[in-house]
């Protein structure tokens, strides 16, 4: 029609269609994929070439497509300026990127497992910080923000006026299979407490546990997500949690209230909590556990002992209280009258110490572990390792507790302790000896037997591993009479004179540390091994002297009894001996049902054997033995370790 013009919107539509029809078709067009967000246009795809990678490798068994992993990492890199983004994308270790650090006026850093990488020689400006903060969500009270539907965490540093002057952009990844080492415990419905230092992978493991419980075992799982680290930022949770539901916490101070709300309103079978850090949160977790709900939670620390010493979190392991024992019970235990004991049942049934991303230390009974630590004993520990194919041939052969998880050569279990009775035998093959200690036909010599007091078995094992010792070098024992050396915590050793007396009676050298830190324990072990290496021959000679002296002392007592006391009816004074040898002589005299006195003189303590019903009024300065009470007294004072070595027949010296 003359004079008729199309509306402006239709004109623009027709022009766009004409331009698209005139453009040549793109080679290998990629059809859009449903469900996955498009790649951020400003983020370049990784380029191929010498030293560069073509695509991101995916962890074996991952349930997340490669394109989605690329997109999520691209969304984090989009926070950087174009030049910085290109430098990071070209790095060979891009799939292992840990975090990007941007501080105002400083050079930006990208952190990889191999170390820090300086992205640019130019310092970060205010515009760079504003560009990054404009693309993330709002920063909460804890100065954390995120990118919607991703697991990345953006943490800010503010100045005194509240302005953000620094950013730590941490990469978040959902790794399928990261909780495979705990599959048997998860399946059994155990409540798990995961302990580890920051950055060791606690959140990654509990995210995978939540997915396994919800998808594989069809349980109703509710995640209480304080900082949106488990389910990601935004209202729609990340696919990494599977079918588990997520409750966000508006303020970290309200986490304990949200925990109770989750139980009362949503009827979950499992509650997953990240970073229990306050007494109120510990009390809420304890309340939930009493309602029969499975708990999975994390806490900052290195070992279970850290939780015991933490007044805010001790409730997670049952609480600690001071108990005063009676005289008889304190004497039976060989401890002071005031001791520490567990107050009540533990909130969690199992404890998991995360040593590294591939190694876990399992405490199957958390209550038994706490009781053992408080009493100075070694807890039962099970070490589980995940090994790669290239390491499979180099790892030591050890007892495997679950062969079904070993089929692909990925997981290795080591039973460090199965029980208190066989603890020593299980620890015999955990250590390696330096090459310089193998000289002089070491294989024909006995290994060093070590008795530890007040120091965790696991800490000693770590110290020995750091020294790279051989399997036959050191054996841990719970019988002090079999030990070559005593390694003890100084503060606990001072409170137990019985241990000191037992070590003295067996002529065992004592090595002490001021703390139970790995550094101090390792130094003590190094000094112990060095001294033992220098004195192996002296130790062997001392053992021969001890054995010879014991035989001489018993033969002396036997000859005195049979030839003088019984035949002639006269008392006999034996030679001064050590308390351990005197106890053996007492046992021998007891078999003959004779009277005996202990005489203290300038040269030491010796025994005087008297005939039965001997008139002793004229004998002064002696101490008459009532055998049962005196022997028990010797044992309780640490002069005799455990029971006496009862002899079936009397020893005879060779003619």
Which pLDDT tens digit goes with each residue over 423-445? 333 333 333 333 333 333 333 34
Q: SS3 string of 342-408?
A: ECCCCCCCEEEEEEECCEEEEECCHHHHHHHHHCCCCCCCEEEEECCHHHCCCCCCCCCCCHHHCCC
Q: Given a cut of 50, is residue 628 above it in pLDDT?
A: no
Can you give the pLDDT at residue 353?
93
- Residues 281-297, mean pLDDT to the nearest whole number: 91
Per-residue pLDDT, averaged over 454-463, amounts to: 81
The pLDDT score that the predictor gives to residue 614 is 63
Query: Is the pLDDT reported for residue 247 higher than 90?
Result: yes
- Across-strand partners of 340? 322
Q: Give per-residue pLDDT as tens, 360-390.
A: 999 999 999 998 888 878 888 899 988 654 4
Residues 550-568 have a mean pLDDT of 85
Q: Does position 199 have pLDDT exceeding 60, yes or no?
A: yes
Q: What are phi and psi of 54, to 5 degrees?
A: -90, -35
pLDDT above 80 (res 335): no
Taking Cα atoms as reference points, which of 510, 517, 509 lies closest to residue 493?
Answer: 510
Q: Is the pLDDT of residue 349 over 80?
A: yes
pLDDT band at 133 (very low <50, low <70, confident <90, very high): very high
Decide if 129 contacts 101 (C-beta within 8 A): no
Which pLDDT score, from 0 to 100, does residue 184 have? 92
Among 4-8, 203-207, 296-300, the range scoring the smallest mean pLDDT is 4-8
Distance between CA atoms of 442 and 429, rounded to whole angstroms? 16
Supply the CATH classification number for the domain 549-610.
Answer: 3.30.1370.30
Confidence label for 400 from pLDDT (cuts 50, 70 and 90): very low
Percent of the chain residues past pLDDT 90, beyond the cut: 25
Distance CA 242, CA 231 (A): 10
Which of these CATH numbers, 3.40.50, 3.10.20, 3.30.70, 2.60.40, describes 180-385?
3.40.50
Confidence of residue 535 (pLDDT cuts 50, 70, 90): low
> Does the structure show a pLDDT above 50 at 411?
no
Average pLDDT (342-360) is 90
Average pLDDT over residues 81-93: 91
Q: Which residues pair with 610 in a beta bridge?
A: 595
pLDDT tens digits for 570-583? 888 888 888 778 88
Phi, psi of 333 (to 5 degrees): -80, -20
What pLDDT is recorded for position 46? Answer: 41
Mean pLDDT, rounded, for 556-570: 85
End-to-end alpha carbon distance in the chain: 140
> Considering the entire predicted model, what is its pTM?
0.53
pLDDT tens for each residue of 236-245: 999 999 999 9
3-state secondary structure of 320: strand
Phi, psi of 271 (to 5 degrees): -115, 130
Contact 314, 346 (CB under 8 A): no
In this prediction, residue 534 carries a pLDDT of 58
Q: What per-residue confidence (pLDDT) applies to 430?
A: 30
* Whole-angstrom distance, CA of residue 355 vs CA of residue 359: 6
* 268 close to 293: Cβ distance less than 8 angstroms: yes
pLDDT band at 209 (very low <50, low <70, confident <90, very high): very high
- Over residues 530-549, the mean pLDDT reads 60
Examine the pLDDT at 601 and tell me if it is beyond 50: yes
148 forms beta bridges with 233
Average pLDDT, integer, range 307-326: 88
pLDDT tens-digit map of 263-287: 999 999 999 998 898 999 999 999 9
In the prediction, which pLDDT does 234 show?
86
Output the CATH code of domain 66-170: 3.30.450.90
pLDDT value of residue 470: 67
Is pLDDT above 60 for 29? no
Predicted confidence at residue 168, as pLDDT, reads 95
* Dihedral (CA of 222, 228, 230, 234) sign: positive
- Output the pLDDT for position 195: 93
| Reported confidence tier of residue 65, pLDDT bands at 50, 70, 90 | low
Query: Taking 60 as the threshold, does the pLDDT of residue 12 lie above it?
Result: no
Distance CA 461, CA 569 (A): 58
For 357-364, the CB contacts below 8 A with 24+ separation are 357/178, 357/200, 357/201, 358/385, 358/386, 358/387, 359/383, 359/384, 359/385, 359/386, 360/181, 360/182, 360/384, 360/385, 361/458, 362/182, 362/185, 363/304, 364/185
For residues 452-456, give the mean pLDDT: 86
pLDDT recorded at residue 421:
41
pLDDT at 253: 85
pLDDT tens digits along 38-55: 434 444 434 433 333 333
Radius of gyration of the chain (CA): 35
Opening angle at CA 119, ends 114 and 123, nearest 5: 135
Query: Is 294 within 8 Å of 285 (Cβ atoms)?
Result: no
pLDDT band with cut points at 50, 70 and 90 for residue 563: confident
- In percent, the amount of the chain with pLDDT more than 70 equals 71
Residue 310 or 62, more confident: 310
Q: Tell me the two tokens of residue 172.
A: 């978040």
The pLDDT of residue 166:
96
* Cβ(136)–Cβ(150) below 8 Å: no
Q: What is the pLDDT of residues 160-183, one digit of tens each?
A: 999 999 999 999 888 888 888 999
**Which of helix, strand or coil describes residue 487?**
strand
Own/partner pairs, 118-123, CB within 8 angstroms, 24+ separation: 119/80, 119/84, 119/87, 119/88, 120/83, 120/84, 120/87
CA torsion sign, 411 to 417 to 422 to 424? positive
Indicate the range of 50-64, 453-467, 525-539, 585-599 predicted with least confidence: 50-64
Average pLDDT over the chain, rounded to whole?
Answer: 75
Q: Which of the pair, 614 or 323, is modelled with greater confidence?
A: 323
| pLDDT reported for residue 86 | 92
Please name the helix (run of DSSP H) or strand (run of DSSP E) that holds residue 424, with its range, or none.
helix 423-427
Which stretch of 217-226, 296-305, 458-467 has the lowest confidence by average pLDDT? 458-467
Residue 356 has pLDDT above 70, yes or no: yes
The predicted pLDDT at position 556 comes to: 86
Query: Which has the higher per-residue pLDDT, 319 or 438?
Result: 319
């Amino acid at each position: 029609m003359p004079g008729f013009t199309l509306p402006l919107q239709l004109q623009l539509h027709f022009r766009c269609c004409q331009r698209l029809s005139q453009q040549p078709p793109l080679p290998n067009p990629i059809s859009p994929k449903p469900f996955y967000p498009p790649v951020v246009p400003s983020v370049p795809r990784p380029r191929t070439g010498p030293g560069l990678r073509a695509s991101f490798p995916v962890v074996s068994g991952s349930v997340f497509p490669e394109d989605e992993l690329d997109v999520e990492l691209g969304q984090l890199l989009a926070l950087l300026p174009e030049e910085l983004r290109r430098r990071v994308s070209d790095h060979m270790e891009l799939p292992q990127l840990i975090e990007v650090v941007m501080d105002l006026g400083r050079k930006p850093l990208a952190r990889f497992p191999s170390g820090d990488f300086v992205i640019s020689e130019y310092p970060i400006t205010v515009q760079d910080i504003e560009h990054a903060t404009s693309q993330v969500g709002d920063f909460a009270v804890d100065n954390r923000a995120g990118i919607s539907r991703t697991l990345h965490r953006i943490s800010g540093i503010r100045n005194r006026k509240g302005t953000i002057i620094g950013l730590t952009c941490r990469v978040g990844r959902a790794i399928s299979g990261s909780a495979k080492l705990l599959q048997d415990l998860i399946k059994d419905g155990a409540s798990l407490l995961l302990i580890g230092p920051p950055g060791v992978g606690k959140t990654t493991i509990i995210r995978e546990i939540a997915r396994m419980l919800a998808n594989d075992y069809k349980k109703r799982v509710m995640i209480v997500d304080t900082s949106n680290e488990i389910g990601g930022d935004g209202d729609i949770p990340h696919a990494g949690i599977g079918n588990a539901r997520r409750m966000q916490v508006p303020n970290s101070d309200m986490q304990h209230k949200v925990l109770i709300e989750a139980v009362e309103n949503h009827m979950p079978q499992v509650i997953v909590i990240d970073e229990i850090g306050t007494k109120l949160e510990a009390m809420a977790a304890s309340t939930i556990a009493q309602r029969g709900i499975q708990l999975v939670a994390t806490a900052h620390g290195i070992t279970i002992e850290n939780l015991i010493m933490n007044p805010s979190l001790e409730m997670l392991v049952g609480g600690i209280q001071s108990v005063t024992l009676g005289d008889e019970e304190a004497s039976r235990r060989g401890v002071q009258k005031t001791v520490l004991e567990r107050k009540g049942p533990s909130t969690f049934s199992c404890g998991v110490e995360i040593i590294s991303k591939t190694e876990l230390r399992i405490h199957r009974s958390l209550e038994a572990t706490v009781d053992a630590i408080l009493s100075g004993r070694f807890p039962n520990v099970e070490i589980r390792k995940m090994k790669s194919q290239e390491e499979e041939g180099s790892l030591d052969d050890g007892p495997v507790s679950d062969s079904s998880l070993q089929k692909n050569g990925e997981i290795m279990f080591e039973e460090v302790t199965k029980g208190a009775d066989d603890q020593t035998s299980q620890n015999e093959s955990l250590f390696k000896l330096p090459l310089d200690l193998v000289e002089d036909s070491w294989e024909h010599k006995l290994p060093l037997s070590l008795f530890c007091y007040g120091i965790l078995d696991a800490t000693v094992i770590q110290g020995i591993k750091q020294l790279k010792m051989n399997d036959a070098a050191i054996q841990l024992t719970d019988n002090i009479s079999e030990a070559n050396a005593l390694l003890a915590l100084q503060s606990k050793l001072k409170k137990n004179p019985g241990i000191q007396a037992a070590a003295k009676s067996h002529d065992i050298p004592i090595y002490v540390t001021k703390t139970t830190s790995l550094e101090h324990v390792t130094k003590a072990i190094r000094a112990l091994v060095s001294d033992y290496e220098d004195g192996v021959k002296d130790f062997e000679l001392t053992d021969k002297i001890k054995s010879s002296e014991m035989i001489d002392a018993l033969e002396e007592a036997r000859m005195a009894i049979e030839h003088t006391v019984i035949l002639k009816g006269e008392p006999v004074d034996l030679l001064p001996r050590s308390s351990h040898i005197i106890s053996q002589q007492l046992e021998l005299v007891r078999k003959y049902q004779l009277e005996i006195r202990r005489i203290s003189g300038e040269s030491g303590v010796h025994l005087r054997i008297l005939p039965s019903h001997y008139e002793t009024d004229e004998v002064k300065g002696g101490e008459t033995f009532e055998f049962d009470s005196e022997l028990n007294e010797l044992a309780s004072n640490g002069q005799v370790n455990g029971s006496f070595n009862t002899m079936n027949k009397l020893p005879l010296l060779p003619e």
